């Protein structure tokens, strides 16, 4: 809109042409405007609102559109009337008055202006000569800069180049231009696979080799050097359980197996080897079959076949002017496997066991084998007109005629060897081409600009924090930059405390010089093949950054932002994604070389041994198998450069070419704001508050609420809708999730509970249903589920066992261990009848096996009571042995084992053992001697004691009359009962016992259920497993105050009874019993199906952490109703780590007699 008011320079185009030109710019070509325009424009705060501003030296006054004035609350000053102004070309524009002293903010400074309210087009505000001269402003139209001459020094402010997000026209303006007869061009940008539209018949020479570009349809020919897999000596076959798959994946698996079988790539197998398979989703939605060969790769002897030096390859290109690049299709499948090694590639699936006869993806020596094949095939052409790196074939020639000959020879060699290429990935007859990280052309070889793009395009810092980030990166290499401190001084000053941020010309010069020094020698070095490489990577919430180094010298930088759903990935996947990104872009340097990757995410060190992975991680680990790479931990503060690259600010204040603009448009998140019918404005959702404002403008009900008189809704100075001073968040799921994520999982909140989080959030934000959304978010948080304690009663209501029909029909059994040796015995076998509560206490040895117990069982139990119908016991190895199960099965007895880590299943035995131990203690205390000598009397006393649950003593319930004792000879007497009378009385006793037991069970259930809650899971649910029962000395996990309380999640595969569930556990937990009581489980509400199960790193597969007591730290007594229990606080040595627990003194005295006596002496 240049040339307002007489004296301005008018446009050389007519009015109609000008309109057409602008519309063309908006809809078709963004770059063309900048090439032909000398306008300087930027986005500034005018009256507190962002406005698109044009600096126009051809306008005598400053202007603002009526729409922008109304939105910003700018009114015409008193005394200012409407009028007309003359524009270039002799036309006139009407004005609605003048607003005086409107604040315009530039670089944090206010520079008021008098604005004429007039319907100018294309810009919200035009600043003319009255304002420019008042503030001593010079326009640098060539560089698009605004220069302020001040006494304190020059202030240079960079204008904004026109982009798709900043120069737009409204739909109404477009409609008006169309009504005037202007032409409009609508362009769309679509992404397609490179080369997808190539027609073979249009390519010289290539058109004669159509058969070379066909898809693979069968086995490759036998070759002189098939692929072999040499294993480390003594390696046994490795076979793993197949992974579970969804129904859709099983259907795809069956389809792909049939396809591979039809091509002959695989065949049925009887190999002892077996790797699991899984699917990874491709970008186009199809599935890619991946085989987890990590186990095989670990034991494979690495092939050290040399890869060519990149500098030597590029040296061969001197003088070449024509280039073609050929990429083989599924190259690995074109190499057969040696028959002796086919069995090692076997993989296991639901549909059978198969093995590859061609080289599959994912094997560690595959790149070296492929390089060997290519060298053998093209040996006579190498370094003459062909160079090869793995699967990249580059044909180069000095003339067009030579290139036709060379290209024909290469394609004939491919045809002869039955090697097939993929046309869509090939490039022919090029004068310039990217190859191995360099640009090759007739002018020679140059460095690929992408190597330094991350630094070269670093935007100008806009705050002291961003200056510190850039100087932190630059300072890491200060030893390579001469005069670094002097060069950085202007920017360093701005980081001081209470120093206003004013970006001066000196700062701009300092910034440019440092960027130039960081992207030129001697900081950037050339790689030296054969020497180890170091790759430093880091990922943040913004993006990723990585640096390639060798012997302390930088070879290349790289960084990029996360796109779309990538931001929602867990931290582990973001950090691993940064590693994969680095290896991909620097593949030509790193393949075949020793590579050390340094990351600040500690758990990545174990990625090659991680027992469970999601589909994405499996695909990436398969990719890593091609490299000789090790992953090492490097703290974030030490990993300074990659950290700075991953967190740098990305904006649009740098020049772009058309290609980069297309990339920008494809990643911008644009939304439409409807302020009036057909009035649309494109907005880039840059920050949270801006995104909220954009979403508010799209919520019509919210906008209507602000217009209601007396409404609690109000609009702030910057256009944000508030409710009682809080930001009103509209119905935007993604926006609300971002707020909830920041409030819950940032470093400044650290996973608060639902109540705390809700009260924190409602101070600043408002939306309907916030409390419910917060509760759901916290409930679905994986970290909270793993770490936080359950502040509620245990899950699972009491399930009483069915009451037996007759005496000694259903029994329970358990062991009492840890006793001192007495008459060669050191344990007691407790066997209890569930109906009469009568018990037998049998002295045994801890070393007695299942066979010894079986003989004793027949002699002491079967002899007296017959064969029981069922037995309930714990999971003692003797009870789970094949012998014991077979023995009981032969007698017709069913064996029921208690749930793992839930002794309450056999509560009757546990309670009887408590009574037994107390009786033994009292016998030894009163009468001394060996406990084995008192055991028969203890059994008598127990069976003759009143039991509340049955309303009588076990002896009376068993035999139908009270037992005679020295205290009650006369009361019992010698009664004689015969025939029907005895049977009738005995039957009556059983009936009374069963009634009493039923009442007792009802009473117990009512009492127990008050402290429990009903909890159920469905097959397919994912649950966390409580770790408390696995923790501590002599258990499977060492005690650690800061370790999670739960592990998992694990899928539920079966419901076992009303209160137990079978889980699918990983291989490392194969020794665990897989059935757990419901009180040990917590439901996983996290929505991501690919959530990786968290398993403690110190988990002992044999279920034992060796523990040795070191010393007694403290003593105390636990006071119960009728007794006191002495307790000791023990310091344990658990395989090098120390733990502290409280233990009963009697237990320590029995188990560690010599150690205990020594402690007492000391």
- Please give, one letter per residue, the 3-state secondary structure of 631-697: EEECCCCCCHHHHHHHHCCCCCCCCCCHHHHHHHHHHCCEEEEEEECCEEEEEECCCHHHHHHHHHH
Question: How high is the mean pLDDT in each 10-residue block of the chain (1162 residues)?
Answer: 34 33 33 48 84 86 88 80 72 82 82 88 87 86 77 68 47 66 60 48 79 80 84 87 82 89 89 86 72 87 77 74 86 85 91 90 84 87 87 88 91 89 86 78 66 67 81 57 67 80 84 75 58 86 80 72 76 87 82 85 79 78 83 64 54 37 37 32 49 80 76 75 85 85 76 84 87 87 73 52 77 83 87 86 87 88 88 80 81 77 54 71 70 81 74 78 57 44 54 55 53 72 74 47 72 80 78 74 74 58 62 84 83 67 83 81 71
> Does one domain contain both 511 and 529?
no
Could you identify the residue written with the tokens 């259907």?
Answer: 251
Residues 6+ apart with CB under 8 A from 806: 835, 990
Q: How far apart are CA 754 and CA 770, in angstroms?
A: 11
The domain in which residue 847 lies consists of: 810-946
Q: How far apart are CA 816 and CA 834, in angstroms?
A: 19
In a domain, 127, yes or no: yes
Q: How far apart are CA 1016 and CA 455, in angstroms?
A: 56
Number of domains into which the chain is organized:
8
Angle between helices 505-518 and 484-493 (to 10 degrees): 140
Q: Which two tokens stand for residue 238?
A: 């490795």
Q: How far apart are CA 584 and CA 401, in angstroms?
A: 35
In a domain, 694, yes or no: yes
pLDDT of residue 267: 92
Closest CA to 813 of 934, 931, 895: 895
Q: How far apart are CA 59 and CA 293, in angstroms?
A: 72
> Does one domain contain both 594 and 619?
yes
Q: Which two tokens stand for residue 290?
A: 């991946």
> Does one domain contain both 382 and 461?
no
Q: The domain that contains 703 carries what CATH number?
A: 1.10.340.70
Q: Which two tokens stand for residue 208?
A: 């004669």
Q: Is the pTM of this model over 0.75?
A: no
Upper half-sphere CA count for residue 1087 (Cβ side, 13 Å): 5
Q: Which two tokens stand for residue 914?
A: 């408590």
In a domain, 81, yes or no: yes
**Distance between alpha carbon 281 and the CA centroid of its chain, in Å?**
16
In a domain, 986, yes or no: no
**Distance between alpha carbon 1014 and the CA centroid of its chain, in Å?**
33
- List 146's β-bridge partners, or say none: 139, 157
> Does one domain contain both 1099 and 1124?
no
In a domain, 871, yes or no: yes
Residue 285: DSSP 8-state: S
Cβ atoms of residues 212 and 411 within 8 Å: yes
> Does one domain contain both 830 and 738?
no
Cα of first residue to Cα of last residue in the chain, in angstroms, is 96
> Does one domain contain both 1128 and 1113?
yes
pLDDT of residue 973: 41
Q: The domain that contains 1086 carries what CATH number?
A: 2.30.30
Q: What share of the chain is helix, strand, coil (3-state, %, to 5)?
A: 35, 25, 40
7-13 long-range Cβ contacts below 8 angstroms, 24+ apart: 7/58, 7/60, 8/56, 8/58, 8/59, 8/60, 8/87, 8/88, 9/58, 9/88, 10/88, 10/89, 11/88
Q: Residue 108 belongs to what H/E stretch?
A: none
In a domain, 5, yes or no: no
Q: The domain that contains 307 carries what CATH number?
A: 3.10.10.10
Could you identify the residue written with the tokens 């649910």?
Answer: 1021
pLDDT of residue 10: 31
| Residue 288 backbone zone (phi > 0: left; psi -120 to 50: alpha; other: beta) | beta
pLDDT of residue 607: 80
Q: How far apart are CA 212 and CA 426, in angstroms?
A: 12
What are the C-alpha distances in Å from 1124 to residues 919, 1127, 1144? 16, 9, 11
3-state secondary structure of 628: strand
Q: How far apart are CA 909 and CA 840, in angstroms?
A: 11
Q: How far apart are CA 1126 and CA 424, in angstroms?
A: 80
In a domain, 264, yes or no: yes
Query: CA 807, 804, 1055: angle at the middle one, nearest 5?
Result: 145
Choosing from 896, 928, 946, the residue where a domain stops is: 946
Closest CA to 830 of 922, 947, 913, 915: 913
In a domain, 552, yes or no: yes
Could you identify the residue written with the tokens 């301005």?
Answer: 8
> Does one domain contain both 231 and 323?
yes
**Distance between alpha carbon 153 and the CA centroid of its chain, in Å?**
50
Q: The domain that contains 150 carries what CATH number?
A: 2.40.70.10
> Does one domain contain both 1092 and 1126?
no
Q: How far apart are CA 1036 and CA 1038, in angstroms?
A: 7
Question: 584 burial class (0-12, 13-18, 19+ CB within 10 angstroms)?
Answer: exposed
Q: Which two tokens stand for residue 550?
A: 């060798």
Query: CA 333, 339, 342: angle at the middle one, nearest 5?
Result: 60
Q: How far apart are CA 1039 and CA 1062, in angstroms?
A: 26
Cβ atoms of residues 149 and 451 within 8 Å: no
> Does one domain contain both 400 and 533?
no
Choosing from 631, 649, 667, the residue where a domain stops is: 649
Residues 6+ apart with CB under 8 A from 761: 739, 740, 743, 770, 774
pLDDT of residue 324: 92
> Does one domain contain both 302 and 407?
yes
Q: How far apart are CA 828 and CA 845, in angstroms?
A: 8
Choosing from 1056, 1076, 1103, the residue where a domain stops is: 1103
> Does one domain contain both 234 and 121?
no
Q: What is the DSSP string of 381-398?
A: TBTTTEEEETTEEEEEES
Q: How far apart are CA 34 and CA 57, in angstroms?
A: 18
Q: How far apart are CA 832 and CA 912, in angstroms?
A: 8
> Does one domain contain both 474 and 588?
no
């Amino acid at each position: 809109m240049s040339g307002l008011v007489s004296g301005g320079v008018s446009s050389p185009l007519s009015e109609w042409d000008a309109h057409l030109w602008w519309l063309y710019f908006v809809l078709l070509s963004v770059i063309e405007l900048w090439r032909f325009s000398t306008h300087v424009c930027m986005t500034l705060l005018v009256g507190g609102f962002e406005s698109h501003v044009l600096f126009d030296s051809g306008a005598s006054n400053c202007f603002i559109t009526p729409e922008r004035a109304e939105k910003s609350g700018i009114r015409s000053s008193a005394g200012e009337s409407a009028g007309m102004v003359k524009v270039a070309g002799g036309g006139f524009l009407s004005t609605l008055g003048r607003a005086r002293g409107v604040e315009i903010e530039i670089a944090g400074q206010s520079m008021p202006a008098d604005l004429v309210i007039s319907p100018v087009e294309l810009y919200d505000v035009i600043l003319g000569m009255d304002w420019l001269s008042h503030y001593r402003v010079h326009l640098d139209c060539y560089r698009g800069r605004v220069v302020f001459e001040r006494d304190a020094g020059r202030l240079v402010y960079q204008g904004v180049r026109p982009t798709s997000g900043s120069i737009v026209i409204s739909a109404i303006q477009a409609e008006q231009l169309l009504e005037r007869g202007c032409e409009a061009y609508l362009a769309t940008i679509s992404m397609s696979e490179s080369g997808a539209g190539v027609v073979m018949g249009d390519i010289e020479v290539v058109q004669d080799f159509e058969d070379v570009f066909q898809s693979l349809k069968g086995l490759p020919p036998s070759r002189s050097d098939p692929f072999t897999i040499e294993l480390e000596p003594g390696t046994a076959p490795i076979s793993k359980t197949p992974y579970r798959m969804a129904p859709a994946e099983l259907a795809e698996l069956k389809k792909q197996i049939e396809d591979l079988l039809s091509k002959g790539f695989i065949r049925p197998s009887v190999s002892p080897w077996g790797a699991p398979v899984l699917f990874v989703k491709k970008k186009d939605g199809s599935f890619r079959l991946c085989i987890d060969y990590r186990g095989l790769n670990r034991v494979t002897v690495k092939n050290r076949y040399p890869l060519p030096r990149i500098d030597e390859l590029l040296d061969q290109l001197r003088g070449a002017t024509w280039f073609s690049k050929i990429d083989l299709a599924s190259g690995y499948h074109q190499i057969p496997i040696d028959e002796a090694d086919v069995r090692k590639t076997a993989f296991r699936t639901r549909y059978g066991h198969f093995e590859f006869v061609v080289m599959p993806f994912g094997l560690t020596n595959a790149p070296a084998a492929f390089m060997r094949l290519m060298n053998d095939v093209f040996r006579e052409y190498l370094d003459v007109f062909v160079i090869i790196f793995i699967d990249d074939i580059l044909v180069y020639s000095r003339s067009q005629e030579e290139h036709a000959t060379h290209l024909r020879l290469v394609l004939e060699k491919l045809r002869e060897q039955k090697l097939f290429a993929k046309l869509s990935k090939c490039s022919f007859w090029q004068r310039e081409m990217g190859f191995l990280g360099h640009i090759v052309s007739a002018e020679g070889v140059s460095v690929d600009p992408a190597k330094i793009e991350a630094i070269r395009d670093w935007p100008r810092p806009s705050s002291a924090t961003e200056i510190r980030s850039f100087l932190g990166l630059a300072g890491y290499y200060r030893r390579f930059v001469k005069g670094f401190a002097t060069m950085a001084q202007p920017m360093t000053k701005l980081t001081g405390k209470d120093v206003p941020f004013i970006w001066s010309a000196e700062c701009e010069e300092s910034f440019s010089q440092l960027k130039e020094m960081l992207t030129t020698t001697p900081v950037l070095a050339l790689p030296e093949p054969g020497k180890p490489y170091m790759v430093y990577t880091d990922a943040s919430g913004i993006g990723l950054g990585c640096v390639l180094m060798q012997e302390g010298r930088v070879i290349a930088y790289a960084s990029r932002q996360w796109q779309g759903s990538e931001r929602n990935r867990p931290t582990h996947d973001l950090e691993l994604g940064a590693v994969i990104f680095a290896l991909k872009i620097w593949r030509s340097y790193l393949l075949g070389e020793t590579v050390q990757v340094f990351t600040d995410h500690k758990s990545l060190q174990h990625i090659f041994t991680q027992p469970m992975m999601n589909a994405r991680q499996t695909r990436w680990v398969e990719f890593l198998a091609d490299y000789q790479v090790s992953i090492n931990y490097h703290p974030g503060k030490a990993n300074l450069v990659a950290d700075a690259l991953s967190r740098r600010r990305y904006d649009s204040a740098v020049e772009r070419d058309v290609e980069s603009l297309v990339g920008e448009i494809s990643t911008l998140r644009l939304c439409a704001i409807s302020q009036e019918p057909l009035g649309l404005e494109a907005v880039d959702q840059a920050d949270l508050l801006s995104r909220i404002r954009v979403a508010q403008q799209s919520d019509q009900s919210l906008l209507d609420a602000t217009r209601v008189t007396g409404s609690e809704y109000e609009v702030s100075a910057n256009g944000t809708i508030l409710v009682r001073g809080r930001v009103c968040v509209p119905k935007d799921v993604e926006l609300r999730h971002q707020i909830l994520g920041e409030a819950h999982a940032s470093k400044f909140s650290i996973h608060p509970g639902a109540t705390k989080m809700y009260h924190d959030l409602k101070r600043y934000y408002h939306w309907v249903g916030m409390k419910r959304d917060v509760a759901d978010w916290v409930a679905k948080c994986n970290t909270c589920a793993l770490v936080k304690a359950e502040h509620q009663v245990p899950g699972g209501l009491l399930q009483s066992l069915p009451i037996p029909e007759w005496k000694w029909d259903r029994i329970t059994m358990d062991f009492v261990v840890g006793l001192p040796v007495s008459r060669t015995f050191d344990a007691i076998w407790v066997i209890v009848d569930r109906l009469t509560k009568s018990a037998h206490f049998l002295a045994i040895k801890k070393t007695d096996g299942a066979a010894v117990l079986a003989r004793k069982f027949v002699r002491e139990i079967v002899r007296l009571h017959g064969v029981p119908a069922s037995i309930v016991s714990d999971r003692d190895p003797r009870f789970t042995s094949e012998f014991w199960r077979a023995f009981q099965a032969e007698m017709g007895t069913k064996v029921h084992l208690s749930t793992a880590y839930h002794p309450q299943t056999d509560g009757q035995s546990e309670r009887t053992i408590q009574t037994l131990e107390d009786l033994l203690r009292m016998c030894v205390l009163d009468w001394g001697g060996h406990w084995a000598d008192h055991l028969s009397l203890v059994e008598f006393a127990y069976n003759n004691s009143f039991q509340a649950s049955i309303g009588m003593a076990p002896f009376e319930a068993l035999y139908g009359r009270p037992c005679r004792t020295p205290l009650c000879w006369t009361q019992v007497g010698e009664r004689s009962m015969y025939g029907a009378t005895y049977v009738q009385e005995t039957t009556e006793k059983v009936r009374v016992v069963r009634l009493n037991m039923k009442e007792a069970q009802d009473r117990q259930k009512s009492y127990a259920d008050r402290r429990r809650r009903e909890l159920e899971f469905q097959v397919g649910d994912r649950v966390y497993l409580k770790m408390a029962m696995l923790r501590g000395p002599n258990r499977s996990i060492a005690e650690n105050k800061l370790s999670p309380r739960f592990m998992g999640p694990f899928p539920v595969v079966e419901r076992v009874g009303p209160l137990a569930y079978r889980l699918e556990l990983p291989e490392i937990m194969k020794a665990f019993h897989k059935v757990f009581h419901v009180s040990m489980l917590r439901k996983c509400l996290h929505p991501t199906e690919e959530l990786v199960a968290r398993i403690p790193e110190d988990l002992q597969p044999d279920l034992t952490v060796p523990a040795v007591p070191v010393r007694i730290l403290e003593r105390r007594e636990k006071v119960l109703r009728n007794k006191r229990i002495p307790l000791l606080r023990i310091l344990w040595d658990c395989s090098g780590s120390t733990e502290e627990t409280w233990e009963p003194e009697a237990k320590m005295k029995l188990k560690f007699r010599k150690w205990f006596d020594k402690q007492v002496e000391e």
